[in-house]
Amino acid sequence: MGAGDSGIVKWCQATLNEVPLPIVRSTFVRYTDPQRRRFQPDVNHTTNKASLEVDQVVHNHMGKYRCEIQIMENDDHERTVFGNLMVYSSPFFHTNGSMNLVADELNKQEVTADKRYATEGDPMVIHCPATGYPRPTIIWYKGGELLEIDGAHISVSNNGTVLTIDKFAESDTGEYRCSATNEYPNRLDLDFKAHEASLAQEVAIGSPYGWIYPLLVILVILLLLFIIIYACAACKRYQHDNYNVAKRDSPERRDYMHEAPAHALSRLVCSLDQEVRDCLLRLSSPLSSRRLRPLLIDRPTLYPL
C-alpha cells in the first residue's frame, strides 16, 4: 500500500475446522491510533466475512488493526474472537506542504527537494520526513558516500529523520541524501521484501544578509520613481509660472491695467450730474483728469425736458 492509492479492502472471518462461522457483529480497531479508533465493517452473511473498505488511502491508514468478531456459541451465548491485520506501506515522504518535493519521472521513489542555503558557522538542520509501516530505517549519504555520524559535528535525531550539522563549514557543502527502507511481505505466503525511497537535497553556503539585497533594489527603484515624479511636477510648475509672468508683463497687459480704471471711472462720471462731474474732475489726479476730460467733452450732456 502507498499513500494516494485508489483504495484497499481489509477483511476477516472466524472459522472452526476451516469452516466459516456466522457473524453476529464485528468491529475493527486501529492500534496505531493513540485513541484506539474503532470502525464498523460491512458483514457479508453469505461468505461470513467482515470487510472494511478505504476509498482513498492516506498515510494514517497504515498500521496494525485488530478485527473483533462476535459469534454465537451453543445457540444462546455470544463469544468474541479476534485477529490482527497489518496494513503495510512502503516508505514515502510526508511534509504537509512544508517542503517542495519533486519525484523522478522514471522512479517515483527518488525525490528531490529545493536547494537550501546555510550560514557559515551556524548549525544546519536537514529533514528527512519519511514514513511507512513498518517504520523505515533511515541512512544518510553525502555526495554518494555513506555519511559519517560522529555525534559531535554531525548528529541525527527523531529516529534518524533529522540531521544536524554543528557550525556549518565550507567542507559541509554538497548533496545530502536520506534513504528510507522497510521490509514486509506482499502476501502472507511470501517472504519479506525490501522497499526503499530516497530524498536528495543540495546545501550550500549563502550570505546571512542575502535578504538585504532585494530590499535595497526595491528601495532604489522607489527612490528613482519619486525623483522622476517630483521632477515632472517641478517642470510643470516652472512652465506655468513663466507663462503667467510673460502674460502679466506684456505691453497690452500694462496698457489695459492703466486704462481700465480710467474707463471705469469715466463711465461712472458720465452718468452723474454736471456739478458732481465737475467736482470729481477737480478732485481727480492730473493723470485721471487728462484721460477723463476728452471723454467728458466729446460726450454731450443730456438734461430732461
User: pLDDT at position 34, please?
Assistant: 79
Say what the pTM is.
0.60
CA atoms within 13 A on the CB side of 229: 6
Predicted local distance difference test score (pLDDT) of residue 190: 73
CB burial readout 263-291, b (16+ within 10 A) else e: eebbeebeeeeeeebeebeeebeeebeeb
**Tens of pLDDT, residues 5-60:** 556 788 898 988 889 989 999 999 988 777 888 888 999 989 999 998 876 667 77
| Helix and strand numbers, DSSP H then E, in the chain | 4, 21
Phi-psi region of 174 (alpha: psi -120 to 50; beta: other; left: phi over 0): left
pLDDT in tens, 102-127: 988 888 899 999 999 998 899 999 99
CA gap 257, 254 in Å, rounded:
5
Regions of the chain where pLDDT drops below 70: 1-7, 55-57, 188-189, 207-211, 243-305
Enter the C-alpha cell of residue 213: 539585497
